[in-house]
């Protein structure tokens, strides 16, 4: 059904029964490493719907119909078995890891995301699998089925071929990456993968969602609390209804209601009409907050992760400017890196706590952090002295 980019095609199976799926995964668990890919539908629901599960090792590949009546009830134990494997290889795996957590309550134990390898081939920070495949395998990948509706049954031969090719290309690409990247780059690749997995495990509290909405910082403290509670309410409602949060109430509407709850009854062409029950709940939240004293508001308002405010003195600003120029010089020697790769926030964090900064992890350390540490020792000492 698909053309392998090597002369050694995989032994392939398309699986629609739970017994065969369990048997295949049991056999895969003895492999040193596995490539994993998932096809899912996530356009009209809060939670993604897993439709197809693809697995490959060095010699075998399978496409498992996750919506098969026989397999669907078994998805939790099937995915749980895979989480125990010592090394699962993905491409751009963050959403896939979330699906693992959704279905079996945990993410994989150990992952390697080959998307992060693209930076070492001049492909930028997040190349598509197609770009990576073309670079590593000199093979142009067909993506005609990428946006197809994976809920439709039966799956077409083209869909099965596409699903199979994805996971086979991942394993082929991993083989080449492992051969071509030195130990230092491979360690950085592992660090980036581990960091991404850890970041996916840490879900921000619902109380912090309001602060992520554009316009939050310009609100009064009382209205910030309204937006905080409205965003929390919307997220919980979206989870209950299994609908995208924006379908419950878009950000611009929440912001408007936080500023002026009476605007909930005004007609607008930019948002869909709210359900009457939603209106009552929103008005109730805003009304309760209006009765709170300033002290009560400050107690309820979620602090910005309790981070101390760093006072930028004249000396610190000079150090920031000097460090920024050094970063720009380093980046100019690596044209595939984005000029805006290090923002002011990360730059200040580097100067404040160089031993805990993202610049000392993964590809950022390989290309920037190591050289920047060597060039910035005096500036780091001056920054520390200015703190005293």
Q: Are 346 and 274 part of one and the same domain?
A: no
Question: Residue 117: how many CB atoms within 10 A of its CB?
Answer: 29
- 305 in a domain, yes or no? no
Q: Are 145 and 196 part of one and the same domain?
A: yes
- 224 in a domain, yes or no? yes
Q: What pLDDT is attached to residue 271?
A: 58
Total domains, the chain: 3
Q: Are 233 and 253 part of one and the same domain?
A: yes
Q: Are 183 and 292 part of one and the same domain?
A: no
End of a domain among 201, 225, 259? 201
End of a domain among 201, 234, 258? 201
Q: Are 164 and 282 part of one and the same domain?
A: no
pTM for this structure?
Answer: 0.90
β-bridge partners, 309? none
- 2 in a domain, yes or no? no
3-state secondary structure at position 65: strand
Q: What pLDDT is attached to residue 307?
A: 52
Residue 56 CB burial class (10 angstroms; 0-12, 13-18, ≥19): buried
- 309 in a domain, yes or no? no
Full residue range of the structural domain in which residue 253 is found: 206-300
Q: What pLDDT is attached to residue 340?
A: 79
Q: Are 127 and 29 part of one and the same domain?
A: yes
Q: Are 125 and 230 part of one and the same domain?
A: no
CATH number of the domain within which 162 lies: 3.30.420.10
Q: What pLDDT is attached to residue 311?
A: 85
Q: What pLDDT is attached to residue 235?
A: 97
End of a domain among 201, 231, 246? 201
Q: Are 274 and 325 part of one and the same domain?
A: no
Q: Are 54 and 182 part of one and the same domain?
A: yes
Q: Are 211 and 337 part of one and the same domain?
A: no
Q: Are 137 and 218 part of one and the same domain?
A: no
Per the CB < 8 A criterion, the answer to whether 224 and 210 are in contact is: yes
pLDDT in tens, 325-384: 999 999 998 888 887 778 888 888 889 888 778 888 999 999 999 999 999 999 999 999
Q: Are 96 and 181 part of one and the same domain?
A: yes
Angle between helices 314-332 and 344-352 (to 10 degrees): 110
Q: What pLDDT is attached to residue 169?
A: 95
CATH number of the domain within which 253 lies: 1.10.150.80
Longest Cα separation, the chain: 73
Could you list the pLDDT tens digit for every one of the 388 residues in the chain? 344 555 557 999 999 999 999 999 999 999 999 999 999 999 999 999 999 999 999 999 999 999 999 999 999 999 999 999 999 999 999 999 999 999 999 999 999 999 999 999 999 889 999 999 999 999 877 777 777 899 999 999 999 999 999 999 999 999 999 999 999 999 999 999 999 999 888 788 999 999 999 999 999 999 999 999 999 999 999 999 999 999 999 999 999 999 999 888 776 545 567 888 899 999 999 999 999 999 999 999 977 544 556 789 999 999 999 999 999 999 998 888 887 778 888 888 889 888 778 888 999 999 999 999 999 999 999 999 988 7
Q: What pLDDT is attached to residue 291?
A: 96
Per the CB < 8 A criterion, the answer to whether 90 and 200 are in contact is: no
Q: What pLDDT is attached to residue 75?
A: 97
- 1 in a domain, yes or no? no
Q: What pLDDT is attached to residue 110?
A: 96
Q: What pLDDT is attached to residue 2?
A: 40
Distances (CA, A) of 219 to 193, 223, 312, 332: 37, 6, 24, 40
């Amino acid at each position: 059904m698909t053309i392998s980019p090597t002369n050694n095609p995989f032994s392939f199976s398309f699986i629609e029964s739970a017994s065969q799926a369990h048997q295949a995964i049991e056999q895969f668990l003895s492999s040193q490493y596995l490539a994993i890919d998932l096809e899912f539908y996530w356009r009209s629901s809060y939670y993604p719907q897993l439709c197809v599960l693809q697995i490959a090792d060095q010699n075998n590949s399978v496409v498992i119909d996750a919506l098969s009546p026989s397999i669907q009830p078994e998805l939790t134990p099937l995915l749980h078995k895979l989480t125990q494997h010592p090394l699962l290889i993905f491409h751009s795996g963050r959403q896939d890891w979330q699906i693992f957590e959704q279905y079996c309550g945990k993410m994989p134990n150990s992952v390697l995301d080959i998307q992060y390898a693209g930076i070492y081939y001049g492909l930028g920070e997040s190349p598509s699998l197609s770009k990576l495949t073309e670079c590593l395998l000199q093979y142009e990948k067909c993506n005609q089925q990428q946006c197809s509706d994976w809920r439709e049954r039966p799956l077409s031969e083209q869909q099965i071929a596409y699903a199979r090719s994805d996971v086979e290309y991942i394993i082929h690409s991993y083989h080449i990456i492992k051969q071509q990247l030195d130990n230092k780059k491979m360690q950085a690749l592992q660090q980036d993968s581990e960091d991404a997995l850890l970041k996916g495990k840490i879900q921000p509290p619902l109380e912090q969602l309001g602060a992520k909405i554009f316009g939050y910082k310009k609100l009064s403290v009382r209205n910030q609390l309204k937006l905080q509670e409205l965003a929390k309410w919307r997220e919980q409602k979206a989870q209950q209804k299994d609908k995208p949060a924006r379908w419950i109430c878009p950000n611009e509407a929440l912001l408007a209601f936080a500023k002026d709850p009476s605007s909930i009854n005004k007609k607008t062409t930019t948002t869909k009409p709210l359900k009457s029950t939603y209106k009552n709940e929103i008005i109730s939240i805003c009304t309760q907050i209006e009765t709170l004293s300033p002290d009560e508001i400050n107690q309820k308002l979620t602090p910005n992760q309790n981070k101390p405010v760093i006072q930028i003195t004249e000396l610190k600003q000079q150090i920031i400017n000097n460090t920024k120029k050094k970063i720009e010089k380093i980046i100019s020697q690596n044209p595939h890196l984005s000029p805006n790769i290090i923002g002011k926030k990360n730059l200040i964090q580097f100067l404040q706590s160089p031993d805990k900064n993202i610049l000392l992890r993964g590809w950022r350390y390989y290309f920037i952090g190591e050289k920047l540490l060597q060039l910035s020792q005096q500036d780091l000492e001056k920054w520390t002295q200015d703190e005293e």
